[in-house]
Copies of this chain bind each other. A is one copy, B any other.
Amino acid sequence: MINVKEAKQLIDENCCASKVVTLSLLEANGSILAEPIYAVIDTPPFDQSAMDGYAFSFENWDQKSKLTVIGEIQTGNYSDKIVESNQAVRIYTGAPIPPGTDTVVMQEKVNRDGNSIQILDASLVSGTNVRPQGSQTKKGEMALQEQQLVTPVAISFLAGIGITKVNVFSKPTVSIIVTGKELAGANDEISEGKIFESNSIGLIAALQQLGINPVSVEVVDDVEEEIEKAISKQLSSDILILTGGVSVGDYDLVPASLGKCGVQKIFHKIKQKPGKPFYFGRHNQTLVFALPGNPAAVMSCFYEYVVQAISSFTHKEYFKKMALPLAEDFNKKAGLTFFLKGKMGENNVMVLNNQESYKLNSFAVADCLIEFSEEGENFKKGDLVNVRMIL
Contact = CB atoms under 8 A, between A and B. Distances in A.
A153 B366 contact: yes
A196 interface: yes
Interface in A196-224: 196-199, 201-206, 208-209, 221-222
B77 A181 contact: yes
A28 B274 CA distance: 27
Interface string A155-169: 111111110100000
A190 B48 CA distance: 15
A153 B363 contact: yes
Contacts of A43: 195
Contact of A157 (B44, B183, B190, B295): B295
A201 B391 contact: no
Interface string A236-253: 000000000001111100
Contacts of A202: 152-153, 155-156, 159
A326 to B, nearest CB: 20
B136 A360 contact: yes
B247 A209 contact: no
Q: Which of A131, A154, A249 has the most CB of B within 10 A?
A: A249
B192 A96 contact: yes
A257 interface: no
Q: Which of A41, A73, A151 has the most CB of B within 10 A?
A: A151
Given A205-B29, A247-B93, A76 B358 contact: no
A256 to B, nearest CB: 16
A363 B157 contact: yes
Contacts of A196: 159-162
Contact of A201 (B26, B149, B192, B198): B26
B159 A52 contact: no
Nearest to A148: B365
Contacts of A197: 159
22 contacts: A25-B205, A26-B205, A30-B209, A41-B190, A45-B190, A45-B195, A52-B249, A73-B193, A74-B222, A74-B251, A75-B182, A75-B251, A76-B180, A76-B181, A94-B180, A136-B354, A137-B361, A151-B366, A153-B363, A158-B364, A159-B197, A164-B186
